[in-house]
Amino acid sequence: MDRCLLCITVIAVTCPWLRAQDEITAVPNRPTVSTPAQPVQPGVLETEWGVDVAASHQDINGLLKFGVSANFELRLANNPITADSGTHGVGDSGLGFKYRFTRDSGWRPSISFMYMAKLPTAGNVLGSGEVDHAFTFLASKDLGKHHFDFNSVVNLLGRPQGGFDREYLNALAWAHPLRGKWGATAELSGITARSSVLPGSAQFLAAATYTVRPRLVLDFGGTARIAGNIPRAMFIAGFTYSIARIPASRR
């Protein structure tokens, strides 16, 4: 699945006819943990790629999104390369969707629901080897030039003996344009304990973004541990690119 996702992205980016649609505007999910309530535009195929680098963990992560309609988005995620403390290989994949119920208007935020199933393509060495389910409530709001995203996630984590463990994640992100094409974003996120062996954690993220074109946004920054058994600091960088609007899907 990771090779399929990478091939689709590379082929689409290199096709000349896909580069003429500059009216498309990217909807980055990167670089924060939280996801905006806004889906990609109808008929638009969009991809995100990034790297995470810490002393004990490194990965390359990808996401492919397609706007089925103005409020419905399909999602395919994959980590083609993951390394933990000297062990490396293919990471897990994810498949799901996002549906928006309300749009940002007046004092009402955009509200969406997202479901993702984790497919254990990493096996049980770099992953759990089990299928997980994530149910997410998303709310986004613009207040002047300030943009806020709030996510509340219920994770059902498969157990080898059957059944599921539960953990809950909350994240609040803020973004604001700076001078020219530059922007800034910051986020607080935390996840509850899965068990006494796997305690909860919390982190702070800060990053800069640069909009090369409306359809291409670069990002780079880092995370810092507040609590828990996660890397003390991590460098993050990547991009979001709206590949094309597929004519047959235009509404």
At 84-127, the pLDDT tens digits run 877 888 889 999 999 999 999 989 999 999 999 999 888 777 77
Q: How far apart are CA 34 and CA 218, in angstroms?
A: 17
- CATH domain 2-249 topology: Porin (2.40.160)
For the ranges 10-24, 31-45, 153-167, the lowest mean pLDDT is seen at 10-24
Instruction: Report residue 19's pLDDT band, with 50, 70 and 90 as the boundaries.
Output: very low
- Residues for the chain: how many in total? 251
List, for residues 160-188, the tens digit of each pLDDT value.
Answer: 888 899 999 999 999 999 999 999 999 99
Please give the mean pLDDT across all residues of the chain: 89
Yes or no: say if 138 and 111 are a contact pair by the CB < 8 Å rule: yes
Distance CA 241, CA 251 (A): 21
- Mean predicted confidence (pLDDT) in 70-78: 97
Domain ranges of the chain: 2-249
